[in-house]
Structure 1
């Protein structure tokens, strides 16, 4: 079972990926430095170090689906 606290929702707008707010600094509408074509590589098992441009905090993304990024560490407080 996937731990919900390790997930974060994202949105695809044209050829860019956004999060509505940063899980670390809570900045709004953050453009992620990752392209949609990289999501399939992550789904196939390759990890991706995601550095949020707003606060430079890091999260290792280990899986994705059409709505959520799955990290190896908690991104939300439950």
Structure 2
């Protein structure tokens, strides 16, 4: 079962997908190379790989919704 600790928010502007902050190096406003097609596949539950352009960290995205990537690793601390 996936938990909220395994999520990371993203934003879509026009055809570009941004992360407000990289979960690995904490760089802000990261423009990814994640395509619209990859996002749609992730929304269908097809696993996708996102390599961060800032630090080359790798996110394995198990699924996506309209606000979050759901990954196979813990990206944030529980509160």
Q: What is the deviation of 1:50?
A: 0.9
| Superposed structure 1 runs of 4+ greater than 4 Å apart | none
Figure out how many residues of one structure are paired with residues of the other and give that number: 78
Alignment of 1:18-57 (within 5 A): 18-57=18-57
Alignment check: 8 A CA contact 2:25 2:55 kept: yes
CA distance in 1 between counterparts of 2:4 and 2:21 reads 17
Write the deviation string for residues 27-66 of structure 1: whole angstroms up to 9, x where unpaired.
0100111112321212223211111111111110000000
- The gaps in structure 2 that reach 5 residues or longer are none
2:45 counterpart SS class: coil
CA distance in 2 between counterparts of 1:67 and 1:50 reads 16
Tell me the equivalent position of 1:16: 16
